[in-house]
Amino acid sequence: MRRTNTFVIAPDLDDEECLRRLLDASASFWNELTYERRQRLFAGDPVWEGSDCGDRYKSRLGAATVQTVRRVNDEAWRSFFERRKDHSTSPPGYWGNQDDGRDLRVYLRNDTYTIEWGSRSRIDLLIGQKLKEEFGLGYRERLRLPVRGVPRWNGTRGRLVINYDEVAKQYRAYQSVAVNQSALETSLGETEAAVDIGANNLVACSTSGGSQYLFEGRPLFGQYRAITEHIAALAGKLPEGRRSSRRIKRLYRKRTRQRNHAQDALVRTLVKRLHAEGVATVFVGDLTDIVTDHWCVKVNQKTHSFWAHRRFTDRLSCVSEEYGIDVREVSEAWTSQRCPRCGVRENTVRDGDSFYCQRCQFRGHADLVGARNILAEHASGAVRPMARPVRFQWDNHQWRSTTDAPAEIPTNSARTCELPLE
C-alpha cells in the first residue's frame, strides 16, 4: 500500500535560490520534452520516445533527476494514449512559461535524497555539478534544507516531489511511502454496509447489522456558496484584461481546502465506525451517468462542483484499505425512488429528504432509503431491521453526532423495519 508524507521546506535565502534554480530547470526540461512530443503527435508521428534534450539539463539537475523527470513524462504520455483509445482527451501540457511564470516542480528518485527527522529535521538533495559550483558545494556534497512537519507513514521510501506554492509562498514536498501490510488493521467481522452519496446529505450509510449514519451537508454548502459569491464579486472589480488576482486564488484555495477537510474527516469518521462494527465490505453508489445538468445554477453547483463525488469515492477506498475493508462501486440508479418495503418504483414520491410510498404507505428518509436498497441488492446475507440513524453535523473541525431525535420519530421506535424520516 502506498501513502504520502507531506511537509514544508524552509530554506534560507542562498539555499532558496539554489532550490528555485533546480525547480526551474526541471520545469524547463519538462516543457521542452513535452513540446517535442506534442509536435510529433500533431505531425502524425507515432514515435514519441528518443528525445535527447535532457542532456543539456544534467549539469543542473543531475543525470538521475533527468531520468526521473523523463520517466514521469513517459507515464503521462502512456496514460494519454491509453485514455485516447476510449474517448477524446488532451495530451500532457506544459508547466507554464518563462514570461508568465513556470510551475516550479521537480521529481526525485528515492536514492537521490535523504530525510532526517528530529528536533532539526532536514532533507539532503542531489543536484547537478554546475549548481554545486555556482553555490559553493563540494563534489560529493548535497543541497541541505531544513524541513517542517512530521511523517505520518513509515515504510520504504519512494519518489519525492517538490513544488513551489505560489499562493502560499511555500516550498512543499510530497514523499511516496510503501507501507508494510502488517502495519495495517484487519476487518473485525463480516458485516456489510452501503453508502449513498448525496449533496444535501453528503453520505447516508446503512449496515447489515442495522446501524444507520447520516452526514448533513447543507451548512457546509452554505459556506462554499458564500465564498463563491465573494469570488464573483471580486472578479467583477478586476481591471480590464485581468482574469484573476492573488486574493481570488487564495479564496479558491480556501473553498477547496474547506471542502476537502470536511470530506476527509467524514471518511475517517465513517470508516472508524464501520471498522468498530465489524464491517468487511462497503458498497458505494457509482454516480456515473446519473448526475445530470439541472436548470437551476445552484443545484448544478452543488452536484457538479461542491461535493466532488469521485474524490470522495477514491478517498473512501484509500482509508478503508488501512482498516482491511473492501470497497466496491455499484450502480445507484433508482435506489432512492424504490420502496424498500414493497419494491415498487412507480407509486413513490420523493420531496427533498422525504420518501413516501403511495402503495404501502411507507415513509422514510430518501437518502437512507437509497443506502438500504443498495445494501439489500448487493449484500450476501440477511439485513437486520434498521435502527434510528445517527446524525452527524460539521462544526468546521470534526463531525459530531447529535442525539436529538426529530419530533416525528416516536421515542419507542429505537428499532423498526421502517427508516425514520429525519
Rounded Cα distance between 273 and 319, Å, is: 12
* pLDDT recorded at residue 417: 37
Task: Tell me, yes or no, whether 372 lies in a domain.
Answer: yes
Question: 370 and 313, same structural domain?
Answer: yes
Question: 296 and 232, same structural domain?
Answer: yes
Task: Tell me, yes or no, whether 407 lies in a domain.
Answer: no
The tally of CA atoms less than 13 A away on the side-chain side of residue 371 is 29
Task: Tell me, yes or no, whether 307 lies in a domain.
Answer: yes
Q: Which of 158, 182, 206 is the last residue of a domain?
A: 182
Q: Which domain covers residue 351, as residue numbers?
A: 191-402
Judge contact between 108 and 160, C-beta under 8 A.
Answer: yes
Task: Tell me, yes or no, whether 421 lies in a domain.
Answer: no
Question: 363 and 267, same structural domain?
Answer: yes
Question: 199 and 93, same structural domain?
Answer: no
Q: Where are the alpha helices (DSSP H) in 43-89?
A: 58-61, 63-84
Nearest to 24 by CA among 123, 115, 121, 96: 96
Residue 390 backbone dihedrals phi, psi, to 5 degrees = -90, 120
Task: Tell me, yes or no, whether 318 lies in a domain.
Answer: yes
Q: Where are the alpha helices (DSSP H) in 113-195?
A: 129-134
pLDDT string in tens for the chain (422-residue length): 889 999 999 999 889 999 999 999 999 999 999 998 898 888 887 666 656 788 899 999 999 999 999 999 999 998 888 888 777 788 899 998 766 678 899 999 999 999 999 888 999 999 999 999 999 999 999 999 999 988 988 889 999 999 999 888 999 999 999 988 766 778 788 899 999 988 788 999 999 999 999 999 888 989 999 999 999 999 999 998 888 888 998 999 999 999 999 999 999 999 999 999 999 999 998 876 555 544 355 555 666 578 788 899 999 999 999 899 999 999 888 888 888 888 888 888 888 888 999 889 889 898 999 999 999 999 988 888 888 899 999 998 999 998 644 433 333 333 333 444 33
Question: 117 and 247, same structural domain?
Answer: no
Name the domain count of the chain.
2
CB atoms within 10 A of CB 421: 17
Rounded Cα distance between 391 and 367, Å, is: 13
Question: 158 and 250, same structural domain?
Answer: no
Question: 68 and 47, same structural domain?
Answer: yes
Task: Tell me, yes or no, whether 91 lies in a domain.
Answer: yes
Question: 364 and 255, same structural domain?
Answer: yes
Question: 166 and 216, same structural domain?
Answer: no
Question: 222 and 287, same structural domain?
Answer: yes
Task: Tell me, yes or no, whether 418 lies in a domain.
Answer: no
* pLDDT recorded at residue 297: 52
Task: Tell me, yes or no, whether 337 lies in a domain.
Answer: yes
Rounded Cα distance between 336 and 258, Å, is: 28
* pLDDT recorded at residue 403: 61
Question: 168 and 222, same structural domain?
Answer: no
**Sheet containing 143-148, strands listed edge to edge, beginning at the edge strand earlier in sequence:** 105-108, 156-165, 170-178, 2-9, 143-148, 122-125, 113-116
* pLDDT recorded at residue 284: 93
Question: 123 and 240, same structural domain?
Answer: no
CB atoms within 10 A of CB 154: 12
